[in-house]
Amino acid sequence: MPTIASCQRLQHTWFSALASATGGRSFGTHESRWVWLPARRQLMLMFPEEISPAGIRPGLAEGSRLGASSVTAWLGGSVDNAPLETFGFRRGPQTCWMTAPVRAPQAWSAEGAAVEVQPREVSGADAEELRVGHSQPRQAWHIAARDSARMTGRAYAFYPTGVAGLSKVAGIFSLAVGTSSRRRGFGTALLSAGAAAAEAAGAEHLVVNATAASQDLCSARGFSLVGRGRTYSMALG
């Protein structure tokens, strides 16, 4: 089963794939790895083992040059966050890493959810990021849930290949269901359809970073808690 380290590596790889698909990039400063997501004007600091001004200061300067409006730092549980707070970062949502065998969520129906490469309702930054599903070899599948013709939710299945430490590991990312459509089975269908797409690509394990609202759903659909982390954010500009 995936470890916390592989969950973190998969999250970093997902952001890197989004950056590549939307004209962004990844770069490094002293002991710090960053991903620039231009569609959302977001800069991500990805799981530093140690935080130092020598790494943070040039990263923030590059973010300002690129036009970032916000920065989010993703941290493991043992990393000292105090240096971030001196730069103005504030505590954000907790990460909740959960894993499951790829077949576990498929025990529930995927009715109403299916792969849709270019749904017409998606716009703005969400529409730009749909390009992540167009890469070759393919590594991401956009899943849409619908009630008749109306879209009620969406998610991505992501299965990168050739990444050290991620053998047979896929992720479900950006899972969201509209407020008026919740508790009607659409989240379950998205998990099931995403798991099916990942298994067809060769995955054996799934990872999800569950929100506070989705943790109970994921637990009920075969996912187990691996560990937790933290995020910190600040505005730029």
Contact 87, 60 (CB under 8 A): yes
Question: With pLDDT > 90 as the criterion, what percentage of the chain qualifies?
Answer: 91
Peptide bond into 38 cis (omega under 30): no
pLDDT of residue 1: 84
How far apart CA 11 and CA 75 sit, in angstroms, is: 12
pLDDT-derived band at 11, boundaries 50, 70, 90: very high
pLDDT of residue 212: 83
Q: Provide the mean pLDDT of the chain.
A: 96
pLDDT of residue 237: 75
Among residues 169, 131, 134, the alpha carbon closest in space to that of 13 is found at 169
Q: Is the per-residue pLDDT at 9 higher than 80?
A: yes
Give residue-wise pLDDT tens across range 48-104.
999 999 999 999 999 999 999 999 999 998 899 999 999 999 999 999 999 999 999
Which residue segments constitute the domains of the chain, with CATH numbers given? 4-96+231-235 (no CATH), 98-226 (3.40.630.30)
Sign, CA dihedral 6-194-201-45, equals negative
Question: With pLDDT > 70 as the criterion, what percentage of the chain qualifies?
Answer: 100
pLDDT, mean of residues 157-167: 93
Give residue-wise pLDDT tens across range 63-79.
999 999 999 999 998 89
